[in-house]
Structure formats: structure tokens, C-alpha cells
Amino acid sequence: MDCNTGAFPNLFVTGLILGMLYALIALGYTMVYGVLKLINFAHDAIFMIGAASIFYLFGVWFGLNEPTGGVVLVSLIAVGFLVSGLASGGSAVLLERLAYRPLRRRGAARLSFLIAAVGASFFITYLFQQDFLLGTSEHNFPGFMATESALTIIGAQVNNRRVLAVLTAVALFLILDFFVNKTRSGRSIRAVAQDIDAARLMGVNVDRVVALTFFVGGFFGGIAGFLYGMVFSKVAWNLGFFPGIKAFTAAVLGGIGNVRGALLGGVTLGLVENLSTLCIGAEWKNPIAFSVLVLVLIFRPTGILGEGLSAR
């Protein structure tokens, strides 16, 4: 077996960047599972909405397809973070209100939640396939930010878009970790995750906490969609399918329900997926990634860290 060791620097850096994006998406799965023990399989569509919202706002409505710089560029990036986060966060709250809350109030079986999640994912995804939204074609992401070489890591050139994605992901993880562990709302989330009935008896508004959890997970997923569109310069109705499944794999790998586990799992999966192509063809990337999910479920079902939101 011949290994292309010369490609290691590029594959390592690309895997690290891809892993950070997986980790950001994985937060949606982690937050919801940590509180409700529900796997929100519609999160891939929520992620796609973040990218689609920026495509429409910047690309279609304002026609921002020429590179800008300076204060204008910084302002556009800030607006992009806010709009994509709010679009996906709001969609996640609406999803919880219409699909999951009625089931939760009726004490429905967990299988009902799973069916509802899969159905919601298909509904949203194929809704965006319609011509009045994204249609069946792949679109170029708005080119308001020029692609330029920013730095070199172990011999691999890294462009400014990828640097932005990594720095943003790190900052967001620090913010979320502080929010969950140090704020009053974060304590409420952890209380509901630990014992939803006891939290309700202690005066915690469970519906509000659940809605907040969906919003936070969706908000981060939307920003991940914005960054994913920038890094890969594309947006499509099925954009969330493979990243969504791999982000779920990352969440399970790190310990689903664990914020820090999502980061660890995402980076690990991104590196394993990319570096595996050193000695085998790139067409094996997806089978390798999904084999990781199978192996984790067999040998370490609680993930690497295995600690939920309720842990102190």
C-alpha cells in the first residue's frame, strides 16, 4: 500500500478545519440530547437554513457578489453571523413548538419523537428544493469576501476564509461553555437536563428552557452553515445532509450531550476522515467516517468524554 505522505500537511489542516465545522454543527445535537434525550435529526436542515438565509440576503436581495474589504467586510461578516444564527435559531424554536412540544406534553413514546424529527428533516429539506426557494441547482455562495492566502501551517497554505472559520468556532465554543456553566440560564438548562420533573417542581419554566436550548443549538448551527458556505463557496437544498450526519457522528464520538465532547469529536472525526485518504482513495472518506460511528457505538457508546450537560 503506497501512502502519499507529501499530502499530509494539506490533509491535516483541511481535516482540522472541517472538524471544527462538524463540531459547531454537532452542538445542536448535543444541546437537545443533553436536555431532552432526543436526537434532533432535523438539525441538518436547520444548518442548511443558515447558509440559505445568507445566500438570499447577500446574494439575491443585495447582490453582494464582489469582494469588499475594511469596515464594510467586517460589518458584512457580523451581519452574516447574526442573520444566519437568528434564521436557524428561530427555525429550531418553531420546529420544537410545532413538532416536539405537542408530543412531549402528551407523553409520547420516544419513537414518536424520532419519526417526527426525520419527517421534519425531509419536509424542510424538500421544501427548499422547490423553485421559489433554492431549487434543485447548486448555487455559488455570495463572494463578498475575497479568498487570499493568510498563513502557512506545517507547510500548508491556509486561506483567510478558513482562518475565519476556525477562529469563529473556537470563540463560539468558549462563549457556549461559559454560558452553560456560568450563567443563570445555563444552570437552568443543566437542571432540566439532570431531572426535568424536579426542575419543574423547583419553579423552572421547562418549556422556556427547552425553547432556549433549541434556539442556542440552532443559532450555532446557523453560523456553521454561514461558515460552511464561505469555506466551500456553495449552497444547495441538500447542503446539510452529509455534514449533518457527520456532525451527529462527531457528537456521538465525543459524548453526545457534552459541549466539550462535541468539539473533541468534531476535530477527531475531521482528522480521521481526511488523513485516512493518505493511503487509500478519497472515495473512502465517507465509509471511514461512518465506520467510526459504528465502532464508537459498539465499543464506547457514551463517547470519549461521555458526560452530559447535567454533570457538574
Looking only at Cα atoms, what is the longest distance across the chain? 63
Specify if 64 maps to a domain: yes
Among left, alpha and beta (phi > 0; psi -120 to 50; other), residue 169 is: alpha
What pLDDT, on the 0 to 100 scale, is given for residue 209? 94
Helix or strand run (H / E) with residue 280: none
What value does the mean pLDDT of the chain take? 90
* Domain enclosing residue 88, as ranges: 5-299
Q: Is the pLDDT of residue 24 over 90?
A: yes
Place of cell 465532547: 261
Tell me which of 137-141, 217-221, 286-290 is least confident. 286-290
End-to-end CA distance of the chain: 47
Specify if 68 maps to a domain: yes
The interaxial angle of helices 70-95 and 43-54, nearest 10 deg, is 150
The total of structural domains in the chain comes to 1
Rounded CA separation 111/117 (Å): 10
What pLDDT, on the 0 to 100 scale, is given for residue 259? 87
Q: Is the pLDDT of residue 129 over 50?
A: yes
Specify if 307 maps to a domain: no
Q: Is the pLDDT of residue 154 over 90?
A: no
Q: Facing residues of 156 across strands?
A: 153
What pLDDT, on the 0 to 100 scale, is given for residue 1? 54
Among left, alpha and beta (phi > 0; psi -120 to 50; other), residue 67 is: beta
Sign for the pseudo-dihedral over CA of 270, 272, 274, 275: positive
Q: Burial-class residue 107 by CB neighbours within 10 Å (0-12, 13-18, 19+).
A: exposed
Specify if 199 maps to a domain: yes
Mean per-residue pLDDT, 164-170: 95
The pTM (predicted TM-score) of the whole model is 0.93
279: domain CATH number?
1.10.3470
Specify if 308 maps to a domain: no
All cell numbers assigned to 194:
439532570
Specify if 305 maps to a domain: no
Residue 22 phi, psi dihedral angles, 5° rounding = -55, -40
pLDDT tens by residue, 218-275: 999 999 999 999 999 999 999 999 999 999 999 999 988 888 899 999 999 999 988 8
What pLDDT, on the 0 to 100 scale, is given for residue 312? 45
Specify if 212 maps to a domain: yes
The interaxial angle of helices 8-36 and 206-232, nearest 10 deg, is 160
SS3 assignment, position 257: coil
All cell numbers assigned to 11:
490533509
Specify if 306 maps to a domain: no
What pLDDT, on the 0 to 100 scale, is given for residue 290? 83
